[in-house]
Amino acid sequence: MPKRKPVAGIINSILLSPILPVVIFATFLVIASGLKFGIDHQDVAQINQNLKSEARGLALELEKDFDAHVTALRRMADRREIEPDMSRQAWQRDARNYLEDFGTYQAIEWIDADYIIRWLEPVDGNENVIGDSVALLEKRRQALERAALTGQLDISGVVELKQGGAGLVIYAPINEGERNNGYIAGVFRMESLIDALQTPRIQANFNLDIVENGNVAYSIESNEPPNRGFVQNARVDLPSINWLLQLTPTPTWLARHRSFWPWVTFSTVLLMGMLVSLSTLLVQLILKRNRALLRTRNELQQEIDQRKSVQQDLARLESTDALTGLANRRFFMEDLTHTLTMADRQLRQVALIMIDLDRFQILNDSLGHQFGDELLIKVAERLNSLSDERILVAYSGGDEFMFCQQQVEDIDEVINLLGQIKQAFSEPFEVQGQSHSITATMGVAVYPQSGLDADILIRNADIALYRAKESGRNTYQFYTEGMQDREVMRLELDKDLNQALADGQFVLYYQPQLDLATMQVGSVEALIRWQHPLRGLLPPVDFIPLAEESGRITDIGRWVVQAACRQLAEWADGPLAHLRIAVNLSGRELDDDRLVDHIQQTLEFHGLSAGQLEVELTEEIFIDNLERNLGQLTRLNKLGVHLSIDDFGVGYSSLGYLRDFPVDLLKIDRSFITGVTERHDDAVITRAVINLAHNLGIQVAAEGVETEAQLNFLRSHRCDLAQGFLISRPIPADQLMVRLKGGISFESVASAP
């Protein structure tokens, strides 16, 4: 196979070579010349043949003429034989008869045996030869002797006649041998002998030579110079002389006999050659043009391909997020719309998963955007490894990613994917030389049950995601019908939050913390409520996360501090002057650099000592902000504000920070206290936390105390403070006043409002 290519290439280049038409033409020229040569050759042979038969014909005519003369002379000789005594007169009469019959004779003579001319007729003009010997030449005498001996004719050959001019003499012996009585001789002039041949036809066509013994003896010249290239001889069969008739044609005769076929053949073949080579040239031109067209087409195709790939690159760039390299939101939406159309036809389900990275905002704010970007890239890499032909991963912006799972037949497939996504976060991420554990919260909407178009599905997955965040992070939620109403409410509340501060719709409720050693209330926790004009009193869970998201939490936090301080100031001269108020701070509030200044100014404004205020941070927030906000917390601590860790025990396992940082109070999370009298584990943990805190010199509070049994357990294990519905629900300040004045009596949780 590889051998063929060069062969084909060689054939191709030969076919397209400019020499090819020339070679073809040359070949035809050679063939034409060959054919012409062959036919010419035949033609010449034919002409020679014609010339030969012409010569032959003339020779025969001459022979016939001769024969007649010879016969006449023979007859006269025979008469002399029969009548040896014939008189001169009788002989002369006889001779005259012959002369009349044959006008060609110059004279008829009787020559005696001694070769002397005796008688002759006509006498006029010939009288001077009477008595002359004809055997003056030895050669002639021998010839006559031979004739007398054999009785055969003798012809003299062309001789100079005594009467003048060229002629020839025929000698017929009278008797042979001993009885010989001389000869009857006929003298001919060549002119009159040849006369028969000297016709206009012959003269127009030929030059005629009579060649005797190799020499031209007599010529009849043609009207025009003959073509010496052609000559044909014919032997004239005469007794005792050796004559050749030599015929040379005139150009006119030749022209008449020449064939036109050699030229016709030559020019026809040559014409064919020209046509074939012209056609070849034309085919070559077409082929070359085709090649050029093909080349142009290939170049065009290449250009088109290049443009296509540029367009594809552009399309890819347009559909790809520059940072993560994943599909962007726009492309994701287009793809989702298309996928839904397909799913509608195939009666399949499509799952849309929205992913939000937990605590990403905190990490991004504290470690910088560069860090945030690198972390996003790492997360994107891991998530992208889960994509396949059925699963599209996209980056939606911020700390949100999206998955679209096509052709879902069973909801288990979605749950399996959710498990894989969760698994992707199980290993910490190496960013800037440090490993960071991060988790994700997911919201899922499934087509068609959770929405029929892309926009609705996205919105509902968002709602589900929000719910998942509310119920604690690092988990997922499927969208359900009820979520819609709650989402509407959430959005309305978000809108209303704008107005709430300005309109003074927030109030602080207070929940006492009972000192278990003295059974006195030394402090209260301020818990915010929103007195919504339409929805009534709303708990923090309904609006704090909203406020955190929108950033309004900072202003709310300031209001809480102000309201708590104002309350402390109000109580200053009354029976509740000893109370300390604990306020809750969210992580976002700690980010505010002026937080400590604000607290200090507010305390000063109301003439309060810092020790009257306590700040509660959840364990999670505390840890997250420890490094970054160490300065803030240290300043707070130095100011004299008490610091407590809220919801202790649910978040972090590392307790090292307790040793390094001066915490005043640990609040054991309600989840441990609820089971403390029933569950061994909870009791063990609670005891351990109490001991740990005491060993570190930190006070311990128990949250969510609802039964006396729990209270007793805590007292017996020397827990310092107790807070819960058993002691009091969170209540407004005026009610607190009444309640504390009356002294603490435990309320039944069941009977509580």
The residues binding ligand C2E (CB under 6 A) are: 511, 527-528, 539-541, 544, 560, 584-586, 616, 646-647, 703-706, 723-725, 730
Binding mask 286-325 for Mg ion (x = CB under 5 A): ----------------------------------------
Comparing CB distances to ligand C2E, the nearer of 496 and 706 is 706
Strand, helix or coil for residue 311: helix
Candidate list 364, 523, 584, 674; residue touching Mg ion; CB under 5 A: 584
Which among ligand C2E, Mg ion, none contacts residue 527 (Cβ within 5 to 8 A by kind)? ligand C2E
Q: Distance between CA 525 and CA 617 in Å, rounded?
A: 12
Which among ligand C2E, Mg ion, none contacts residue 126 (Cβ within 5 to 8 A by kind)? none
Q: Distance between CA 681 and CA 678 in Å, rounded?
A: 9
Q: Distance between CA 745 and CA 724 in Å, rounded?
A: 13
Smallest distance, ligand C2E to C-beta of residue 534, A: 20
Comparing CB distances to ligand C2E, the nearer of 238 and 524 is 524
Candidate list 121, 616, 619, 720; residue touching Mg ion; CB under 5 A: 616
Which residues in 621-650 are b (16+ Cβ under 10 Å) and which e?
bbebbeebbeebbebbbeeebbbbbbbbbe
Smallest distance, ligand C2E to C-beta of residue 432, A: 31
Q: Does 592 bind Mg ion (CB under 5 A)?
A: no
Cβ atoms of 505 and 482 within 8 Å: the answer is: no
Q: Distance between CA 521 and CA 511 in Å, rounded?
A: 10
CB count within 10 Å of CB 214 equals 8
Comparing CB distances to ligand C2E, the nearer of 443 and 730 is 730
Residue of 81, 78, 80, 74 whose CA lies nearest to 92: 80
Q: What is the CA radius of gyration of the chain?
A: 75
Which among ligand C2E, Mg ion, none contacts residue 706 (Cβ within 5 to 8 A by kind)? ligand C2E
Q: Distance between CA 727 and CA 714 in Å, rounded?
A: 13
Comparing CB distances to ligand C2E, the nearer of 368 and 539 is 539
Smallest distance, Mg ion to C-beta of residue 729, A: 14
Per CB under 5 A, the segment of 364-372, 403-411, 571-579, 695-703 that binds Mg ion is 695-703
- Contacts (Cβ under 8 Å, ≥6 apart) of 457: 336, 340, 350, 352, 445, 447, 450, 451
Comparing CB distances to ligand C2E, the nearer of 431 and 665 is 665
Comparing CB distances to ligand C2E, the nearer of 187 and 526 is 526
Residue of 467, 471, 352, 479 whose CA lies nearest to 417: 352
Which among Mg ion, ligand C2E, none contacts residue 560 (Cβ within 5 to 8 A by kind)? ligand C2E
Per CB under 5 A, the segment of 9-17, 185-193, 415-423, 701-709 that binds Mg ion is 701-709
Smallest distance, ligand C2E to C-beta of residue 557, A: 6
Torsion angle of the four alpha carbons 395, 401, 406, 409, in this order, in degrees rounded to the nearest 10:
180
Smallest distance, Mg ion to C-beta of residue 669, A: 6
Name the closest residue to ligand C2E (Cβ).
Answer: 724
What's the N-to-C CA distance of the chain in angstroms?
96
Which among Mg ion, ligand C2E, none contacts residue 702 (Cβ within 5 to 8 A by kind)? none
Amino acid identity at 276: V
Comparing CB distances to Mg ion, the nearer of 526 and 595 is 526
Strand, helix or coil for residue 606: coil
Smallest distance, ligand C2E to C-beta of residue 517, A: 20
Binding site for Mg ion (CB under 5 A): 584, 616, 646-647, 703
